[in-house]
Amino acid sequence: MHSSSLIQTARLIAKDFAAPHADAADRDARFPQEAIDALKQEKLLSAYIPVELGGAGASLSELVEICEILGRQCAATAMIFAMHQIQVITLVEHAIDHPWYRQYLQDLVKHQYLIASVTSEVGVGGEMRRSRCAVELNGDYFRLVKDATTISYGAQADDLLVTARRHADAANSDQSLILVRKVDYKLEQKGNWDTMGMRGTCSPPFLMTASGHRDQIMEVPFGDMSARTVVPVSHLLWGGCWLGCATAAVNKARSFVRGQARSNPGTVPPTALRLAELVSMLQSLRTSVQACLSEYEQLSAASDAATGPLSSIAYSLKMNNLKVDATQALPQIVIKALSICGILAYKNDSKFSMSRHLRDSLSAALMVGNDRILATNANLLLVLKDD
């Protein structure tokens, strides 16, 4: 599927399957099944997988654009798509030469498996780079038990990509990444998912028990994958989701101001000035995401990608700052759009309602909490040498 076809297909799915069910997914905290089924039907879940394995060979830029397109209609659908693609990209970039994973990627193209991530865990304070649970090896097979604080769309996923200590005596930062198949794991739900926003991601806590063959344990240490791929790709794909949410709010404000202008021909509504400020805020957010996206694609394609700038302290700081700045800007954009539309944006039964956009926007700073990221940055700055 060509790039233009991927984007056009995403637009149709957003319009015909995400938008009509977005309010219901939010109201009922239910999985956006219709949109995800449509993404599977059109084989967008395997878009990043190389053409040689049957995928579309999409670029990260295209996936970010798809996240924005979906996010304009349903932020939960966009976030689920983004989180799945983080897992796929990690497999493609770090395990494509392993026979077991190569076959799995081919099967994913055929069956459109939806992969969820299991990195959170009780007792580690939300720190992705630490695990309490450990892989228990017995010959060629393993067993794994993880008490996860959240697993987004865990009940709806086909497979799980799980972090754990490499063995019982490993340090909590000495982690492996393991793909566990649906037939080989059990989830025991331990709580509910009744949140302000992103309700359709369906992310309650689970106790996960899994087993499998040792081939399912990825060979590359998770720390290396995290720095080079997982963290920057996450922030960029989430950036697409946040752009979608922000653009939806701005578009409603733009429509409102145009309506005011039409009702009073020959005059410029007072809200037009605030709209100009709002569009400038959105452009700044878009510029930040696009600049970091372009740089990441350039650096990841370089011959020294495995040992070059992607693994540097300076680059980690830059990507962390993108996440913090973008997630602080997003609610401000939505609130300004709300102020432009006034009471009609405050009403839930209005076409200008900002309720869902505002509540979804507040989740951005909490997904990998900004305070924790800033604390990490503080430690990195202590060892970063001056330019």
pLDDT tens-digit series, residues 67-95 = 999 999 999 999 999 999 999 999 999 99
According to the model, what pLDDT value does residue 309 have? Answer: 84
Quote the CA–CA distance of 114 and 156 in Å, as a whole number.
8
Per the model's pLDDT, the better-predicted residue between 387 and 295 turns out to be 295
Considering the domain architecture, whether residues 226 and 196 belong to the same structural domain is answered as: no
Across the range 7-33, mean pLDDT stands at 98
Q: Are 211 and 175 in contact (CB under 8 A)?
A: no
* CA-based nearest residue to 221, from 170, 296, 150, 181: 170
Q: Residues 179, 200: one domain?
A: yes
**Looking at residues 318-332, what average pLDDT do you find?**
95
Residue 205: how many CB atoms within 10 A of its CB? 20
Side chain identity at residue 110, one-letter code: K
Return the CATH number at 325: 1.20.140.10
Q: Which residue among 200, 216, 232 closes a domain? A: 216
Which CATH number does the domain housing residue 137 bear? 2.40.110.10
Contact 334/357 with Cβ under 8 angstroms? yes
Residue that terminates a domain, selected from 216, 236, 252: 216
- pLDDT, mean of residues 57-73: 98
Note the pLDDT of residue 24.
Answer: 97
- Do residues 267 and 308 both lie within one domain? yes
Q: What pLDDT is recorded for position 1?
A: 56
Residue-wise pLDDT tens digits, 112-146: 999 999 999 999 878 888 999 999 999 999 999 99
Tokens of residue 361, six digits: 């926007």
User: In total, how many domains does the chain have?
Assistant: 3
Residue 383 banded pLDDT, cuts 50, 70, 90: confident
Same domain for 230 and 174: no
CA distances from 8 to 66, 68, 104, 240 (A): 9, 13, 27, 16
Q: Worst-scoring range by mean pLDDT, 17-26, 43-52, 180-189, 374-383?
A: 374-383
Is there a single domain that holds both residue 89 and residue 167? no
State both tokens at 89.
Answer: 């990209």
Are both 299 and 374 inside the same structural domain?
yes
At 303 the pLDDT is: 77
The C-alpha atoms of residue 304 and residue 302 are separated, in whole angstroms, by: 5
Final residue in a domain of this structure, among 216, 235, 251 = 216
Residue 267, CA atoms < 13 Å, CB-side half-sphere: 10
Q: Are residues 294 and 332 in the same domain?
A: yes
When pLDDT is averaged across residues 335-361 and rounded to a whole number, the result is: 97
Name which of 205, 145, 204 is nearest 180 in CA terms: 145
User: In the chain, what's the furthest Cα-to-Cα distance?
Assistant: 80
- The pLDDT, as a whole number, for residue 3 is 62
Q: Are residues 259 and 143 in the same domain?
A: no
Token pair belonging to 162 = 């799980």
Question: Are 26 and 91 found together in one domain?
Answer: yes
Burial 274-303 (b: 16+ CB within 10 A, else e): bbeebeebbeebbebbeebbebbeebbeee
Residue-level pLDDT at 2:
57
Is 124 in the same domain as 49? no
Do residues 204 and 233 both lie within one domain? no
User: Does residue 228 share a domain with residue 177?
Assistant: no
User: Per residue in 244-293, pLDDT tens?
Assistant: 999 999 999 999 999 999 999 988 899 999 999 999 999 999 999 999 99
Cα atoms in the 13 Å half-sphere on the side-chain side of 210: 30
Domain hosting 229: range is: 222-383
The CATH number for 98's domain is 1.10.540.10
